[in-house]
């Protein structure tokens, strides 16, 4: 187990904006930061980070919490894994007791697979750097590719011996179970036999955005024509090739900083670019580009430059996948290299300055590039040209921004020497056809002859939940502050009627709330609020130096998530940048005593309404007791009238 002192030090040191900034491109928004949600597909920011409170909130998915909960949600870490990740990031030494065999056996299956992958990564590196055969075969191959020792170590490259089960035997000897060796795909099991999947290959470990080893790519060095040149780990619980980009762990900060991502095809393309100082580069690892991969980049930048080699046939095939990038509202450019060159070979032959200059001057807008390329193919063939127009319009139709669509239509009309009206007409027809197809699909799902009436359900507001939330918010933000409160005392006036008279006194916010709720015997209806309320009252009563960020880090994750929802709820308005429109939301720090008193009074009124409702139901069920019940109703109604009068004056 990790010691409490280590956990406390991690929470004290870690900055939520720095950690989340490694995964999401954050931009300053007042005292907070905002960005695109890493948990859902969106084009407008709904993700907010508060450096002051050291919490985050994703309004699109409803998730929120501390820096640790973000890593648990985003990277699927366990709590200890998240602490270890942060300790490593901030160079904090971890104090922990050694795990027993029983504790090792209780480790989750996913964690066991991660451990096996980490062991394999270390093993392949050791084979290459510390054995003669590894140096002569694996290391010499990478040196021939032009990789330096520093680059080889940075990307953790390795070598798997050309023996049937050298790795498997060593892993089992070290105590790793064959079950997890098979599940990660490192070992292939057939009946009573087992052998190494990556036998005789140089190894490229594939990392998650946080740096965990998910799987491997292996390149064969022999001349066996039956074996695949490159072999990837199979799909597993920890490795999904459609959701991973090779090099994203190393490139994420550079992509956000440069506000652009270079997309290449192979492992060595990425490594060679890095070695030449172009570090904002990732690879789809030879697989067709997927929406999940694009979203990884979209969190960091809206700009992507796809790099192709000089093979025209390969370019034509790859163009089909780029429509996916356009669909996500990203700006796409294309850069090709001279015939016979690919990103790896071109980077190897040029200096950093030459490579950067070439990329800058040869990157063309995707739509314009595609139109020029296809026009060259169509030339004077009318049939091919008509097909080209439809192809281009299909790509343009994927773009969500209407202004951008119109600009591309104008550009394509100029390149293809065709009127804009024709392109706009084709675009409109295509949109109409999509709508018709969607309508047909919807009708098929409906029952025959069924008349469907639109249902517009108004979202019901849970008044008690909102008021209880406001009370918890006041305790969190202002619990230890001393304020002047105006209490209401029920007294009989000269006419003999009951009236509320104000009495001014000073008290701490948490004391005022506690005494008022206790006096009225009010209980929180929300279970999380009830639990949080008593923890807060106890903490505020004992700790005069109450610190919100410290408190959030110590409570249970589900309570931390509730706290985040309460505190960040009003921050959603900052996402719209109201101040730029000369709209200035009122700060909560204005009249804290008024806010607290008003909330408690409103809760009292709400509970009175509930009580009156119960009395009315009792009258219907038992008419014999209606007289006494009606008296109670009158008394509560009079009290509510007095409270409402006070609320109106406060407001």
Region 338-367 average pLDDT: 92
pLDDT band at 295 (very low <50, low <70, confident <90, very high): confident
Taking phi first (over 0 means left), then psi (-120 to 50 degrees means alpha), and beta for anything else, what does residue 191 get? left
Structure tokens that stand for 448 in this block: 């025959």
Domain 4-89 has CATH 3.90.580.10: yes
pLDDT at 317: 59
- Parse the chain into domains and list their residue ranges: 4-89, 109-239, 254-424, 463-575+587-650
Which of 142-156, 201-215, 389-403, 630-644 is least confident?
A: 630-644
Which of 265-279, 292-306, 506-520 is least confident?
A: 506-520
For the cut 60, the answer to whether the pLDDT of residue 583 exceeds it is: no
Please list the residues that pair with 204 across neighbouring strands.
Answer: 217
The CATH number of domain 254-424, selected from 3.40.630.30, 3.50.50.60, 2.60.120.260, 3.40.1360.10: 3.40.1360.10
Q: Please list, residue by residue across 579-615, b when 16 or more beta carbons sit within 10 angstroms of its beta carbon and e when fewer do.
A: eeeeeeeeeeeeebbebbbbbbbbbbbbbbeeebeeb
182: number of Cβ within 10 Å = 18
pLDDT band at 527 (very low <50, low <70, confident <90, very high): confident
Tell me how far apart the alpha carbons of residues 31 and 52 are, in angstroms, rounded to a whole number: 8
Region 52-73 average pLDDT: 87
What is 109-239's CATH topology? DNA primase DNAg catalytic core, N-terminal domain (3.90.980)
For the cut 80, the answer to whether the pLDDT of residue 306 exceeds it is: yes
Tell me how far apart the alpha carbons of residues 209 and 179 are, in angstroms, rounded to a whole number: 26
pLDDT at 580: 54
Percent of the residues in the chain that have a pLDDT greater than 90, as a whole number: 30
Indicate the angle between helix axes 366-378 and 382-397, nearest 10 degrees. Answer: 170
Structure tokens that stand for 626 in this block: 């209606």
Tell me how far apart the alpha carbons of residues 463 and 7 are, in angstroms, rounded to a whole number: 38
**According to the 3-state scheme, what is the secondary structure of 420-473?**
HHHHHHHHHHHHHHHHHHHHHHHHHHCCCCCCCCCCCCCCCCCHHHHHHHHHHH
For the cut 80, the answer to whether the pLDDT of residue 166 exceeds it is: yes
Sign of CA dihedral 626, 632, 637, 638: positive
pLDDT at 650: 43
Which of 204-208, 257-261, 263-267, 442-446 is least confident?
A: 442-446
Cα 74 from chain centroid (whole Å): 6
pLDDT at 375: 75
For the cut 90, the answer to whether the pLDDT of residue 98 exceeds it is: no
For residue 132, what are the CA distances in angstroms to 119, 161, 430, 533? 21, 11, 63, 65
Tell me how far apart the alpha carbons of residues 96 and 91 are, in angstroms, rounded to a whole number: 15
Which of 313-327, 351-365, 374-388, 506-520 is least confident?
A: 313-327
Percent of the residues in the chain that have a pLDDT greater than 70, as a whole number: 80
SS3 35: strand
* Most confident stretch, 86-100, 350-364, 557-571: 350-364
For the cut 90, the answer to whether the pLDDT of residue 610 exceeds it is: no
Tell me how far apart the alpha carbons of residues 584 and 14 are, in angstroms, rounded to a whole number: 32
Between 492 and 154, the more confident residue is: 154
Closest CA to 277 of 251, 296, 301, 315: 251
SS3 309: coil
């Amino acid at each position: 187990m990790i010691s409490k002192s280590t956990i406390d030090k991690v929470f004290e040191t870690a900055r939520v904006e720095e950690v989340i900034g490694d995964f999401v491109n954050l931009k300053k928004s007042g005292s907070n930061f905002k960005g695109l949600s890493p948990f859902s597909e969106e084009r407008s920011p709904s993700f907010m980070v508060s450096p002051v409170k050291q919490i985050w909130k994703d309004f699109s998915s409803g998730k929120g919490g501390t820096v640790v909960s973000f890593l648990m949600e985003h990277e699927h870490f366990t709590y200890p894994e998240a602490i270890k990740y942060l300790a490593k990031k901030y160079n904090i030494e971890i104090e922990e007791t050694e795990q027993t065999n029983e504790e090792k056996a209780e480790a989750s299956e996913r964690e066991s697979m991660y451990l096996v992958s980490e062991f394999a990564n270390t093993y392949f590196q050791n084979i290459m750097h510390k054995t003669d055969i590894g140096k002569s075969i694996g290391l010499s191959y990478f040196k021939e590719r032009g990789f330096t020792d520093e680059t080889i170590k940075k990307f953790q490259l390795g070598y798997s011996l050309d023996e049937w089960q050298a790795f498997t035997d060593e892993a089992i000897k070290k105590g790793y179970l064959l079950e997890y060796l098979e599940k990660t795909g490192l070992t292939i099991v057939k009946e009573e036999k087992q052998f190494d999947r990556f036998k005789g290959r140089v190894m490229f470990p594939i990392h998650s955005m946080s740096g965990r080893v998910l799987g491997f790519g292996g390149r064969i060095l022999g001349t066996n024509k039956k074996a695949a040149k490159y072999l990837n780990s199979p799909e597993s619980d920890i490795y999904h090739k459609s959701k991973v980009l090779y090099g994203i762990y190393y490139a994420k900060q550079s992509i956000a900083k440069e506000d652009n991502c270079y997309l290449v095809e192979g492992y060595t393309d990425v490594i060679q670019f890095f070695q030449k100082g172009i570090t904002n580069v990732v690879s789809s690892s030879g697989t067709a580009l997927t929406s999940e991969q694009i979203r990884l980049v979209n969190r960091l930048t809206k700009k992507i430059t796809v790099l192709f080699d000089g093979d025209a046939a390969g370019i034509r095939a790859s163009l089909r996948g780029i429509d996916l990038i356009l669909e996500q509202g990203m700006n796409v450019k294309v850069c090709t290299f001279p015939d016979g060159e690919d990103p790896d070979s071109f980077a190897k032959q040029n200096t950093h300055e030459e490579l950067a200059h070439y990329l800058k001057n040869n990157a063309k807008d995707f739509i314009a590039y595609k139109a020029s390329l296809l026009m060259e193919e169509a030339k004077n063939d009318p049939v091919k040209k008509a097909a080209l127009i439809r192809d281009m319009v299909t790509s343009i139709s994927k773009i969500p921004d209407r202004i951008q669509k119109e600009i591309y239509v104008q550009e394509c009309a100029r390149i293809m020497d065709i009127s804009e009206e024709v392109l706009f007409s084709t675009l409109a027809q295509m949109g109409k056809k999509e709508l018709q197809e969607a309508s047909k699909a919807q009708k098929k799902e409906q029952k025959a002859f069924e008349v469907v009436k639109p249902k517009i359900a108004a979202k019901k507001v849970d008044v008690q939940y909102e008021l209880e939330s406001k009370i918890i918010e006041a305790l969190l933000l202002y619990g230890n502050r001393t304020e002047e409160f105006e209490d209401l005392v029920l007294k009989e006036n000269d006419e003999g009627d009951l009236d509320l008279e104000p009495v001014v006194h000073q008290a701490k916010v948490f004391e005022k709330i506690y005494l008022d709720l206790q006096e009225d015997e009010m209980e929180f209806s929300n279970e999380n609020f009830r639990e949080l309320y008593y923890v807060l009252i106890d903490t505020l009563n004992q700790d005069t130096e109450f610190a919100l960020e410290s408190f959030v880090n110590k409570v249970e994750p589900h309570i931390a998530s509730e706290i985040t929802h309460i505190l960040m709820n009003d921050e959603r308005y900052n996402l719209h940048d109201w101040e730029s429109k000369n709209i200035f939301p009122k700060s909560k720090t204005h009249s804290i005593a008024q806010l607290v008193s008003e909330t408690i009074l409103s809760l009292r009124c709400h509970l009175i309404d509930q009580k009156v409702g119960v009395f009315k139901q009792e009258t219907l069920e038992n008419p014999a007791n209606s007289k006494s019940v009606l008296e109670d109703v009158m008394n509560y109604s009079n009290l509510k009238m007095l409270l409402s009068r006070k609320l109106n004056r406060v407001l």
